[in-house]
Structures are given as structure tokens and as C-alpha cells.
A and B are shown apart, each in its own frame.
Chain A
Amino acid sequence: MSTRLAKGGRFLDKGKPVTFTFNGKRLKGYEGDTLASALLANGQVMVGRSFKYHRPRGIVASGAEEPNALMNHGAGGTFEPNQRATTTELYDGLQAGSQNHWPNLEFDVGAINAGFSRFLTAGFYYKMFIHPRPLWKHVYEPFIRQSAGLGKAPKEQDADTYEHFNVNVDVLVIGGGIAGLQAALAAGKSGAKVLVIEQTAHWGGRAMVDEPLAEGRIGGAPVDKFVEETRAALEKMPNVSMRLRLMGAGVYDHGYVLGYERLTDHAPTAAGPRHRLWRIRAKRIVTATGAIERPLSFAGNDVPGVMLASAVRDYVVNFGVSVGDRVVVVTNNDSAYLTAIAMKKAGLEVPCILDARPEGGGALMQAAQDLGIPVETGKAIAKVKGTRRVTGVAICVQAGEGAVLKEIACDAVAMSGGWSPVVHLWSHCGGKLTWDTGHAHFRPDVDNPPRDDAGEAFVIPVGTANGAMHIALALEDAEMSGRAAAKAAGHKPKPVATPDVTSPQEAAMEPVWLMPQGAPYELRMKAWLDFQNDVKVSDVQLAAQEGFESVEHAKRYTTLGMATDQGKLSNINGLAILSDALGQPIPQTGTTTFRPPYTPISMGAIAGEARGAVFQPIRRTPMQAWHDAHGADWEPVGHWRRPYAYPRSSESVHDAVMREVKNTRQALGLLDASTLGKIIVKGPDAGRFLDMMYTNMMSTLKVGKCRYGLMCSENGFLTDDGVVARIDEDTWLCHTTSGGADSVHGHMEEWLQTEWWDWKVYTANVTEQYAQIAVVGPNARKVLEKLGGMDVSKEALGFMEWKEGEIAGIPARAFRISFSGELSYEIAVPASQGLAFWEALMEAGAEFGAMPYGTEALHIMRAEKGFIMIGDETDGTVIPQDLGLHWALSKKKDDYLGKRAQERSHMADPTRWKLVGLETVDGAVLPDGAYAVAEGTNANGQRNVQGRVTSTYHSPTLDRGIAMGLVLHGPDRMGEVIEFPGVDGKTYKAKIVDPVFYDKDGEKQNV
């Protein structure tokens, strides 16, 4: 059993007991516990089931590398899956639950998969892909769906708040162990602006546990004194900031770092945001991220109770928790002896230390033996006994094939396969690694660092993260690098004395990638590499045998290292097994890519404040509040919201649209057209420039006149349209689509700045400077005449002309243009007077039947007139010629954007689908986007197609369905009926007709 010891636990405040629940069971812990330590203190070693075989799994580690102890955490609006128990600080009322099991942790139906483990080998999913569809549908997919994903997604909206911080520093030190603190001190003393961040709640790191056990001393004093003094010295420096619970999540180009701060996870009732995402720009980044211990690969190394040796002593020293009464230690290096020493000193049994090295260890082995702990050198674990909990180990010689020498009863196993520097942050932005044969690990290759804009290294690894595995080396390295970082950031560092360090030298470790080295298949298929994803030694060997020689391929084929721990424990062991199977050294195999974040960070932190209304600010016209007060049904258009229609009480939206169309055609409609883009183009070369921008000739437009224009990309495709008005000799006003104003303005600027920079032209996007109102219908002139101030008669303001003046006492530009086919004026007034003008129109128009209309009525009226809409009739593959807009393509111009592209063979292909009107035979409305079918089938066995619907509406004017579409040889097939199968199973028959359904001769608008 694991349990709480009477003594020890340097993180605990035993005066503050807390209560929490695990799977509904009430348990007790102390402030300072992690959820993992508190569970262990309550005898809960088994905490979950594995991903594939649903094998019982226990806590393995004590930090961010934990692969198994992933918990559901919280409830309702604070529910979160996949929370690591080892990094979850305990608080009163914490609710946690285990994952990936059904119906419960102790008895799990999915564990039956384990019985089929011989069939669920590497590449299982890929191999299944070759099977026929019915097997997928009825057998594999339900199985995969059932087992896909570990935790459950939250159902409620996140109740917490989050925020972002932007910070610039000279030197960012990531990691608050002794190396990080020493580096910060060296950098800080130069006056550089330093930020030190530590992902846990404590300064000092591993040395705080290990050095006291090893009787190591810094400056003649225990390590905790050094840590406390250094921390205090740093606190006093005004140029140094220190933060706990802030993880370096990712390192990006040119010294950009994302930090992930957990502010209230340990105190959820505290005020303020829960997490904070730090966006840090650092001139230099010192990574003092330490090292992670590796597991050993022996049969049954995943049985609950088998843990990393470092974790076992962390639980004793930091939390006063024993993971078992009798702990067998198995190792290939000296550090695990510290665990044996810790257990023995805590009054627990260590029946045996199995040291795989034939010669055993150095001073620490001697220290353990002096405490009376038996050491067996050259020995290994053949097999772990027990299923839901370790009951013993069978031991064998490491050099052999697993013949059992004897069995030892125990309830926990502490394993150490050596240490791997945490190189993730170094690698995120391209830092390369080098293989260190002596320690059998990858460490940063300082000759191939991530580089800044000047080509200099901007990440400096220090301490054990740099492969300096002895405390004396680590401190020296940190001091030098801290100074170097400050210097590179433009400061003058002074040497800081490195304190004297005494700590035992370790004997050389010996790589052990498989235990015993000649383990047969039966043992290898029980030796886990990746605990969370259930990848075993035998799986990686099978992948190699099947030809997956690249480490990246083998990773994806076996899923090794693809779990949420991202291979923190499994990476090197897996590489070693793969290299062995390929018969090549480990550096030749290489390693997989490390990607940010270092450990998963919350979606809330990534979003920060950008949620709800702040996620994407809405652009509002000056009349927005009026629309809202008059029942507008809103539609998003770009960043705008526009009224779709104004349904009256008890009126449906559809009925409102029908009413708005009829009223506009019969009396008077008002449309808020303020969202239309308005771009001023001005200068001596403005006409020449617009001749390039538009397919039409704009330079010949007379002052006072308007012209409808088309814009194409250089690829020839139609991108935007709108009416252009010539304001004066040098000035044009270009109207764009509502969504297109910014991109059209950007497009103009791009050409002006990068191609025709010697042309004298200015552009200005004045979209929001004006409110624009379309006054439409047979009574349009009457209401303007009533408001007075401008002669809007046919003679004074003809169709496609514009005029400046005053209407109702408000300065106005009236454009006589029509997108509806009715008598129509679009009137622009200063934005500040938009609402006043709108209200004046509504009031004066009451006697003429004035009603506002929305975008849907606008769309129907333009479709009735056969006018195209960018985004409906166009989709980025349509050219003006497809839409019968040849009249808008100037033949007089040598050049315009898109002209050359429109000469390409495919653009001139006579089989391009062309725009036509479509009239359903029975008056029904064609489904939007429906395809017209043709004879025969294509290579995929699908019906051939010969056209598609681009716009479709019920026309209240004609009281029938009308549509526009692109059809093969459409304009030559007038009167022909073609068929459109709908997704509703019906087939719609439609006649090909002229796209202009209403007032073909344009008599209505020209009055």
C-alpha cells in the first residue's frame, strides 16, 4: 500500500487539511499536496486505464512527464478532462475522476482488448483500412469511436476568465531550479531586464530533493540555503521579475515565447483570471528546464506500483508519502540509489537494488550499502508480478534472456533508465541535438542553435537541460550562460562567484534499452515504451521489420510518443529500440520533432479575452440602433451585421421579405447601404490607374456620371463589382461590395506601391465616413422632393448620374443608380447625420408608403433583374465572360488586370458554363447550389453534371421560383428543360430562360 508517513513532506502545511473527492469518494489531503500525492497518500495507486488495451495504470511520475494519471477535473462550467494529477495542486473541494474506463475503474469492459493484444499490434488501424466498407461501418468504426480520445469534452461554457500579457525582456530564464536561479543572478547583476519563470509552485527544482539525500552542499551549506539566498537576492533586484506556476510553453521565431501561467488552479475561489498566456519577446532565452528520468523496458513495467525512481523519492521528501512498504529499485545509473536511501531513511524496506551494470555504481552505491541495503549488480527484472498492483518481481541477469533466478516480494518498483535533458524548448525553433554517448541522451548541439534576425543563437541551454549532469557543472554552466545572455542583450555583466560545491561524483551509467537484453517475444510484448498510447517494445520492432525505417514514420505507425505527454518518457527508449532493430546507432536514427506546447495548455488561455462579443468586434452603421429598435432580423456580412428583413409582430421572416419586395416595387423602400465600400482614388494618374483596376474604361467617364465596373484578379477571375462615380477631373469614387472594401483598397494599394509606384495616385478608404441610403420605388422622387433642397428631376439628375447638394438641410451626394430595377437614388450623407437623414426619410415617406427593407429583399429584386452578386454568381473560378458581361470588358484598352489571363485557352473554352435564368416548371424554388445532371456517369460512378444553381428565390413579384445558374452552353439552350436532383430526394425541373425576369427593357428605373 501507498500511504502517508508520519514525518516528512517539505511542501505540506499539515495545519491545513483539505477534503477532495476521487470518483465520488471523499478523501483527505493537505495544502501543498498535488492530486497525485494525495491519491497515493490515500492508497490510490491505480488511477486510470490505458488507451488501447484498457490496462490498469498507476501514477508513474511526479511532474509534467506523467503519462497515466490524467483526470476529469471539476464539474459543470469548470469541468475539464485530461488534467495531470501530478501537476494539479490540491485544494479544498477538488473533484476528480478517472478516465477511459467503463463501467468503472476497477472493472472495465474494454480491458477485454488486452486479450486481443496480439492482434492490436503496430499499424493496427492502417492495416484495417484495406478491409471492405461494411466491415468498417459495423465493426471497426464503432470500436475506434468507442476508444477514441481519453477524456470527455466539457458540455458547458467555460465559467472562468482568461487573459493575455505582452512582455518584452532582455533575458528570459525558463526554469527555477538552481541552474535557472544562478543564470538569472548572473544576468540580473548586469542590469539586464530579466524574467525568471518556473512551472511548479516551488523554487529549487530537483536539487532540493536529491542533494540533501546525496549530502551535497553549496558554499558549505545545504542546497535549500543557497536557493533561498539566491531567490532573495533576485527578489531585491528591480530589474528582475520572478514568477511561479508559469511554464515556458513554446519558443518561436526571433525570440518569441509563449508562457502559460496558472493563477488560480490551486485556489479556484480566488479573484481574477484562471490562466494567463504570456506573449514574451526576449532578446535571449536561457532554458534551465532540467532533465526527465527514463523508464526501463522490462515485462510488466506498466503495472501500477512501478514508478520512476525520482518520483518515488519526490513523494517521500516533498509530500511525506510512501508509494509502498517494500520498494525494489532497478537502475542503470547512480541516481536511483538516492531513492533507496530516501526510503530506508523514512523507515521503509528496500529488499534489493538491482543494478544492471556488472560493476555497479560509485559513492552512492557505497552509501546505500552502508545503510544495509542489498545491491545485486548485473541483475535485471525479468517480469513484474501482479495486475492491478505490484506484488513482486522475478529477477534475472541483465546479460541473459530472462531465466528467473529468484522472486522478490514487493509492493512497488522504482526504476531509472538514465536521464534525458528537457530539450523541447531548445528544439521548438530549430535547435539541433547531439548524442551524448556517456549519458546516453540527446542534448542541445550548441553549434546549431535557434537563430535570431542577426543570425545569432537566441536560446542558451544551461544546467542539466544542457547535459551538465553534476550540480557543480550545472552551476558553472549557468553562471557563464547567464552572463553571456546579458551581454548578448546589450549589457555589461560582471563575473559572479560560483560557490564551492561538494556532491558525490557518479559512476558512469550504462545504456539499458531492454531488460534483460535478450528478452524473448513474450517478455517484449509486455514491456511498455509509451504507457498512455500502449506502445510496446514488440510494436516498434514490428514497425522496423515492416519497413518503417524513418523515425517519423515509425512514430506515426506505432503512435509512439503521440499521446498527450508527447513522448516525454517514451521518446529515447523507443528510438533506441528502433535503432537496434534497424542495426544502426541512435544518432543515425535521429529523433522526432518536438513541437509546442511543452505540455497541453488550456483553450481558454489561448483565447484570452477574445470570446463572446469581444471575439470579433462588429462594425455598425450609424442607423444600427434604429434597425434594432424596429425588429431587424440580422445577417452577418463581413464584419458588419445587416438587417436581413424587418419582420413585424406575428409576421414570419419570409413573409416580411415578400412584403418588403412588393412595397418597394409598388411604393417606397429604404435600404441602409452604408456598408457598401467607398474608396476615393485621386491624382493626375487616377484615370489611368482605374483603367488597370477595372475591366471597363473608367478614364473616359465624364465628371458627374456613374459607371458599373468589374474588377478581376490577375488570374482573370471576377473578384468585385460596384458603381464608380467621377467626382472631378482628378477624383473618382469607387463603390465596392460590402465585404470587399478593405480587400479592394488593399488590392489597389498593392498595385500602386509595388508595380506602378511612379504613378501619381492616392487612395483612401472612406467607407465609414458616409452613411448611404437607397431610396427605391415609384415614390422615391416624391419623398426627396418633399424633403427638398436638391432638384432630383429626370432632367436635372438622369439615370447613372450623380449630384452634390443638400437634402432636408443635410449635405448629400445623390447617385441615380439602381440595383433593383426601380426608380432609385442612393444618397450619401456624413456618417454623423446618417440617422437623422434616415429618420427624416421615414417620416416624410410615411404618406408614400415608406418601409425599410433588408438584404434579402435586395437580393430578390436584383435577381429578378438578372443582376449578378459577387459571392453568389462568382466563387473565385468565374470570369466575366461566363456571366455574359462582355459589355463591361473594354476592347479599347491594351491592358487591365486579368486581361492576359482571360486569353488563356481554358478561359476561352466554349464549354465553360454560362449564366442563364432558370424557371421551375411547377413554380417551386430550386434548391440552392443544386447541380443539373446530364447523361451518363463519370469515372467515380456519379451522374455527369451540366450546370449548377448560383442564386435561387421565391419571387413575390412573379409569384414563382426564379433562379440564376451556370449551365453548359446555357445561352444557346433557351427553353430547354434540365433536371436538378435535390438533397430532399425530389427532382426539380427547370427551363433555361433569360436571366432578366422583370422589366426587361428597364422602363421602371428610367423615369
Chain B
Amino acid sequence: MLILHCPYCGVDADETELHAGGEAHVKRYGPGSSDAEFESYLFVRENPKGVHFERWRHANGCGKWFHAARCTSTLEVFGTYSAQTTEPPQEIKDKISAKRPGWSWREFA
């Protein structure tokens, strides 16, 4: 059972307080988008062994969504940050680089 730090209320929350929301930084495509773009938005997801970016909601807590950068293999958590961003903050990327040199995930590295 994971523990993730909620960046809004500051609680180190047990997984039972949290609701997993799938991959982070997915770009929304609406009307006017191509079939390929819409497919990538709705259905195409990463499935990494290693560095991953996820959406979580502190559902049984403050109710806020946040993002977590963590390793799917070792369960190490590199950091949590606001969901109100389209890419991971530099500080988080630096932390990952320190521990997983040469990492990449989608367009981020």
C-alpha cells in the first residue's frame, strides 16, 4: 500500500485515502482533431517499467487531484506536484535524473 504526499493539504496519505487516475500529462483532443489524435488521447498509454507520471486524487481527504512521479518497478517516489501543469516541474525532473540518469518518458527527459 503506497504512501503519497498530498501537495495540497500536506498529508502523507495511505493508498486507501487515494484514488488512482491513470497517466498524467495526457493532452485532450476535442472536436476537430484527427482520429489518430483522438485515439492517442483516449486510448494510448505508456506502460513503463521504471519512471512513470501518474494522476492521483486525495479522494478520502482534501479531494484534490495531484501528480506523482514514481518508479513502477521499485515503488520509489520521486515526488508529487500540482496537477495544474502540462509538464513535470524541473525540480522533479532533476530528482529523477539524479536517481535514474538517462531516463525518458514520452517527450520528457
CB contacts under 8 Å to A, within B56-109, are 57, 59, 63-65, 70-71, 74-77, 83-84, 99
Complex contact B35–A904 (CB within 8 A): yes
Complex contact B42–A901 (CB within 8 A): yes
The yes or no answer to B2 lying at the interface (CB within 8 A) is yes
Q: How far, in Å, is A735 (CB) from chain B's closest CB? A: 21
Complex contact A900–B30 (CB within 8 A): yes
Q: Which residues of B contact A455 (CB under 8 A)?
A: 71, 74, 76, 99
Complex contact A254–B63 (CB within 8 A): no
Q: Which residues of B contact A796 (CB under 8 A)?
A: none
Q: Which residues of A contact B29 (CB under 8 A)?
A: 900
Complex contact A903–B1 (CB within 8 A): no
The yes or no answer to B21 lying at the interface (CB within 8 A) is yes
Q: Which residues of A contact B3 (CB under 8 A)?
A: 254, 281, 453
Q: How far, in Å, is A677 (CB) from chain B's closest CB? A: 16
Q: Which of A252, A256, A753, A899 contacts B65 (CB 8 A)?
A: A753
The yes or no answer to B15 lying at the interface (CB within 8 A) is yes
Q: Which of B14, B31, B70, B71 contacts A900 (CB 8 A)?
A: B31
Could you count the A-B residue pairs with CB atoms below 8 Å apart for me: how many are there? 73
Q: How far, in Å, is A762 (CB) from chain B's closest CB? A: 12
Complex contact A895–B76 (CB within 8 A): no
Q: How far, in Å, is B54 (CB) from chain A's closest CB? A: 12
The yes or no answer to A959 lying at the interface (CB within 8 A) is no
Contact of A895 with B30 at beta-carbon distance under 8 Å, contacts A252-B1, A453-B3, A904-B35 already known: yes
Binary CB contact string for chain B from 13 to 25 against chain A (1 if under 8 A, 0 otherwise): 0110000010000
Complex contact B64–A453 (CB within 8 A): no
Query: In the complex, A454 Cα to B95 Cα: how many Å?
Result: 11
Query: In the complex, A452 Cα to B38 Cα: how many Å?
Result: 37
The yes or no answer to B55 lying at the interface (CB within 8 A) is yes
Contact of A254 with B1 at beta-carbon distance under 8 Å, contacts A753-B84, A901-B38, A901-B42 already known: yes
The yes or no answer to A129 lying at the interface (CB within 8 A) is no
Closest to B3 in A: A254
Query: In the complex, A452 Cα to B75 Cα: how many Å?
Result: 7
Complex contact B76–A714 (CB within 8 A): no
Q: Which residues of A contact B77 (CB under 8 A)?
A: 453-454
Q: Which residues of A contact B47 (CB under 8 A)?
A: none
Q: Which residues of B contact A757 (CB under 8 A)?
A: 83-84
Query: In the complex, A746 Cα to B63 Cα: how many Å?
Result: 9
Q: How far, in Å, is B25 (CB) from chain A's closest CB? A: 10
Q: Which residues of A contact B84 (CB under 8 A)?
A: 753-754, 757
Query: In the complex, A714 Cα to B3 Cα: how many Å?
Result: 30
Q: How far, in Å, is A757 (CB) from chain B's closest CB? A: 4
Query: In the complex, A757 Cα to B31 Cα: how many Å?
Result: 20
Q: Which of A252, A281, A749, A899 contacts B63 (CB 8 A)?
A: A749
Q: Which residues of B contact A453 (CB under 8 A)?
A: 2-4, 70, 75-77
Q: Which residues of B contact A454 (CB under 8 A)?
A: 76-77
Closest to A166 in B: B14
Q: How far, in Å, is A391 (CB) from chain B's closest CB? A: 53
Query: In the complex, A746 Cα to B55 Cα: how many Å?
Result: 14
Complex contact B74–A254 (CB within 8 A): no
Contact of A755 with B75 at beta-carbon distance under 8 Å, contacts A715-B42, A750-B57 already known: no
Query: In the complex, A478 Cα to B65 Cα: how many Å?
Result: 43
Q: Which of A429, A430, A755 contacts B28 (CB 8 A)?
A: A755
The yes or no answer to A954 lying at the interface (CB within 8 A) is no
Closest to B84 in A: A757
Q: How large is the interface on B (under 10, 10 to 19, 20 to 34, 35 or more residues)?
A: 20 to 34
Q: Which residues of A contact B2 (CB under 8 A)?
A: 253-254, 453
CB contacts under 8 Å to B, within A878-911, are 894-895, 899-901, 903-904
Query: In the complex, A429 Cα to B14 Cα: how many Å?
Result: 16
Query: In the complex, A253 Cα to B3 Cα: how many Å?
Result: 8
The yes or no answer to A451 lying at the interface (CB within 8 A) is yes
Q: How far, in Å, is A788 (CB) from chain B's closest CB? A: 41
Contact of A253 with B1 at beta-carbon distance under 8 Å, contacts A451-B74, A455-B74 already known: yes
Most buried by B among A253, A452, A455, A894: A455
Complex contact A894–B31 (CB within 8 A): yes
Q: Which of A256, A895, A900 contacts B38 (CB 8 A)?
A: A900
Closest to B73 in A: A430
Binary CB contact string for chain A from 445 to 464 against chain B (1 if under 8 A, 0 otherwise): 00000011111000000000
Closest to B4 in A: A453
Query: In the complex, A143 Cα to B98 Cα: how many Å?
Result: 60
Complex contact A253–B31 (CB within 8 A): no
CB contacts under 8 Å to B, within A748-778, are 749-750, 753-755, 757
Q: How far, in Å, is B35 (CB) from chain A's closest CB? A: 7
Contact of A899 with B75 at beta-carbon distance under 8 Å, contacts A753-B83, A904-B38 already known: no
Q: Which residues of B contact A755 (CB under 8 A)?
A: 28
Contact of A254 with B75 at beta-carbon distance under 8 Å, contacts A753-B64, A900-B29 already known: yes
Q: Which residues of B contact A254 (CB under 8 A)?
A: 1-3, 75
Query: In the complex, A945 Cα to B2 Cα: how many Å?
Result: 47
Query: In the complex, A556 Cα to B3 Cα: how many Å?
Result: 34
Most buried by A among B4, B31, B84: B31
Q: How far, in Å, is A166 (CB) from chain B's closest CB? A: 10
Query: In the complex, A709 Cα to B32 Cα: how many Å?
Result: 24
Most buried by B among A754, A755, A757, A894: A754
Query: In the complex, A430 Cα to B74 Cα: how many Å?
Result: 8
Q: How far, in Å, is A367 (CB) from chain B's closest CB? A: 48
Q: Which residues of A contact B59 (CB under 8 A)?
A: 746
Complex contact A754–B38 (CB within 8 A): no
Most buried by A among B29, B30, B57, B83: B30
Query: In the complex, A331 Cα to B32 Cα: how many Å?
Result: 77
Q: Which residues of B contact A899 (CB under 8 A)?
A: 30-31
Q: How far, in Å, is B31 (CB) from chain A's closest CB? A: 5
Closest to A692 in B: B30
Query: In the complex, A757 Cα to B67 Cα: how many Å?
Result: 14
Q: How far, in Å, is B60 (CB) from chain A's closest CB? A: 12
Query: In the complex, A903 Cα to B1 Cα: how many Å?
Result: 41
Query: In the complex, A616 Cα to B105 Cα: how many Å?
Result: 41
Q: Which residues of B contact A253 (CB under 8 A)?
A: 1-2, 15, 75
Query: In the complex, A433 Cα to B31 Cα: how many Å?
Result: 53
Closest to B41 in A: A714
Query: In the complex, A429 Cα to B4 Cα: how many Å?
Result: 17
Closest to B85 in A: A757
Q: Which residues of A contact B57 (CB under 8 A)?
A: 746, 750
Extra contacts, 15 of them, besides A753-B64, A899-B30 (Cβ < 8 A), are A253-B15, A430-B74, A452-B75, A453-B3, A453-B70, A453-B77, A714-B42, A746-B57, A749-B65, A754-B55, A754-B84, A755-B28, A895-B30, A900-B38, A904-B38
Q: List 25 A-B contacts (CB under 8 A).
A: A253-B2, A254-B3, A430-B74, A451-B75, A453-B4, A453-B75, A453-B76, A746-B57, A750-B57, A753-B84, A754-B84, A757-B83, A757-B84, A894-B30, A894-B31, A895-B31, A899-B30, A899-B31, A900-B29, A900-B30, A900-B31, A901-B42, A903-B31, A904-B35, A904-B38
Nearest first, the 5 closest Cβ-Cβ pairs linking A and B are A455-B76, A453-B77, A757-B84, A256-B1, A451-B74
